[in-house]
Amino acid sequence: MSKKRQELIDTAIRLFGQHGFHATGIDWIAEEANVSKKTMYQHFRSKDELIVAALKHHDGLFRNFFMRAVEDSAETPYERLIAIFDVAHAWFSQHDFYGCMFINAIGEYSNKNTAIQQTCIEFKRLMSSYIEELANLLAVENPVELASELAILLEGSIVTAQVSRNPNAASTAKKAAKILIDNEMK
Amino acid sequence: MSKKRQELIDTAIRLFGQHGFHATGIDWIAEEANVSKKTMYQHFRSKDELIVAALKHHDGLFRNFFMRAVEDSAETPYERLIAIFDVAHAWFSQHDFYGCMFINAIGEYSNKNTAIQQTCIEFKRLMSSYIEELANLLAVENPVELASELAILLEGSIVTAQVSRNPNAASTAKKAAKILIDNEMK
DNA sequence: CGTAATGTAAACAGATCTGTTACCTTTGTC
DNA sequence: GACAAAGGTAACAGATCTGTTTACATTACG
């Protein structure tokens, strides 16, 4: 990938995350990325295309960070499912945490079946799949159900941490997750 | 409250919910509400003021709907805590469900300590308080903790239903809630 | 009926948005 | 050094945004 393109996407992710999508103008992104508008429109034909590119790039980066952190934190599937919420806590504690970019995007582009929306849905699907894979390795009756519950806990902790500006939503969700997993394994 | 003002707020809630805040223009709201822009600016000095008024009004309406529905669905605190997720299911099933307006607002106005943000935080605080009140009536050791967990489940189900366009996130959250409550009561 | 309040319609100001273009500078390569 | 490709600057077009103002119509009520 070209360096300019990379810089544009990185800047877009940062500004979209901080200020939202509609509130972040093209000119602003180009300026912060030290790229002229002309060059920018050679890489992305429209703002929507840039948004989709930024979301997809962030998707890759984020899931890589998240899964790697989970796998570095614990060995067994059981411990890893719980470690998800430790990783979430670390995420929420970052100074530039403004909630989940994909949730925020869905909030701004909720009405139409756009590529933006599809990208967000796909991200959530992939995250759920990851949790499901871990749950499948447990000796439980209904791993899919358990995974759905844990995914909901994760989403809830993200939003709660975002609204309350308190990363401890992850700790609360972790306790709940433990109970749900243990209950299913008993 | 004046009829014009009422019409403006109702329209604002509808359009902001469907299309987001930045994407919904003043002119559009005035037109849909059949109110001239001049009159509109006599009621609200700025768009932000209208947003806050709409959020506060929706806060009142929504919590009233929600709590009443919960109380109509069940008698005991135990049953009511679980009924929360039945009410959520009904909410998610509405044809005009576009997620939680306050979560969406936080996503668009995440950077500053505005009145908009304060209104959203206050809404979430009041919803949590309600859950906490119900949990306090249970014979459990740590009702506050349980309430936090249930609140996270509720938030998670809202976002999941919004993204997946599937109200069944509420059913999943309900199962998880039962387990958490029963586990705390055993 | 007459008056005052209230509302509408529509233009306007000024800013900002996305996207394009004309002109000039830089840069890499032979 | 010559030349072509690429990028920067800055203006522009056209739309849309918030907010104001002017001129006219409607309504309420003594």
Task: Give the closest nucleotide to A44 (alpha carbon vs C1').
Answer: C19
Q: Is residue A130 part of a domain?
A: yes
pLDDT band at residue B4 under the 50/70/90 scheme: confident
CB contact under 8 A, A108 and B22: yes
B22 belongs to a structural domain: no
Bin A166: left if φ > 0, else alpha if -120 < ψ < 50, else beta: beta
Q: What is the mean pLDDT of residues A109-135?
A: 94
**pLDDT grade for B1, boundaries at 50, 70 and 90:** low
What sign has the CA pseudo-torsion B58, B64, B70, B76? positive
Q: Which percentage of chain B shows pLDDT scores above 70? A: 99
CA to C1' distance (Å), from A49 to C30: 37
What phi, psi does B155 have (nearest 5°)?
-55, -45
Nearest to A183 among B103, B151, B179 (CB): B179
Between CA B184 and CA B136 the distance in angstroms is: 12
Q: Over 90: is that where the pLDDT of A186 sits?
A: no
pLDDT of residue B3: 82
Average pLDDT over residues A107-125: 92
Distance CA B130, CA A118 (A): 35
Long-range Cβ pairs for the range A104-107 (8 Å, 24+): A104/A17, A104/A20, A104/A21, A104/B107, A104/B108, A104/B110, A105/A16, A105/A21, A105/A51, A105/A55, A106/B99, A106/B162, A106/B163, A107/B20, A107/B99, A107/B103, A107/B104, A107/B107, A107/B108, A107/B162
- Predicted pLDDT at A160: 98
Residues B119/B55, Cβ–Cβ less than 8 Å: yes
Instruction: State how far residue B28 is from chain A, nearest Cα, in angstroms.
Output: 16
Asked if the structure places residue A46 within a domain, the reply is no
CA distance A59 to A103: 12
The pLDDT value recorded for residue B31 is 94
pLDDT reported for residue B121? 96
Residue A37 is predicted with a pLDDT of: 94
Q: How far is the CA of B49 from the C1' of C13 (A)?
A: 22
Residue B127 lies in a domain: yes
- Does the C-beta of B6 come within 7 A of strand C? no
Q: Can you tell me the mean pLDDT for A86-106?
A: 97
Residues 6+ apart with CB under 8 A from B60: none
Q: What is the mean pLDDT of residues B96-124?
A: 94
Contact between A157 and B162 using a beta-carbon 8 Å cutoff: no
Asked whether residue B17 is assigned to any structural domain, the reply reads no
For position A1, what pLDDT does the model report? 65
Across the range B89-100, mean pLDDT stands at: 97
Q: Could you give the percent of chain B with pLDDT greater than 90?
A: 95
**Amino acid identity for residue B74 in this structure:** A
Query: What average pLDDT does range B157-169 have in this prediction?
Result: 97
Q: Which residues contact A157 (CB under 8 A, 6 or more apart)?
A: A85, A88, A92, A169, A170, A172, A173, B152, B156
Has residue A44 been placed in a domain? no
Inter-chain contact B20–A108, Cβ cutoff 8 Å? Answer: yes
| Residue A33 within any structural domain of the chain | no
Q: For strand D, is any atom closer than 7 Å to the CB of A12?
A: no
Closest residue in chain A to residue B123, using alpha carbons only: A163
Domain count, chain A: 1
> Please, what's the b/e burial string for B115-135 (b: 16 or more CB within 10 A of its CB; e: otherwise)?
ebbebbbebbeebbebbbebb
| Structure confidence at residue B113 (pLDDT) | 79
At A129-178, the pLDDT tens digits run 999 999 999 999 999 999 999 999 999 999 999 999 999 999 999 999 99
With H, G, I as helix, E, B as strand and everything else as coil, classify residue B54. Answer: helix
Q: CA–C1' span, A48 to D19, in Å? A: 28
Domain assignment of residue B96, given as a range: 54-185
B159–A103 C-beta distance less than 8 A = yes
Residue A164 lies in a domain: yes
- In which band, very low, low, confident or very high, does the pLDDT at A115 lie, cut at 50, 70 and 90? very high
Mean pLDDT value across residues A18-47: 95
The per-residue pLDDT for range B12-57, each reduced to its tens digit, is 999 999 999 999 999 999 999 999 999 999 999 999 999 999 999 9
Tell me, what CATH number does A78's domain have? 1.10.357.10
What pLDDT was estimated at residue A177? 98
* Mean pLDDT of the A77-99 span: 97
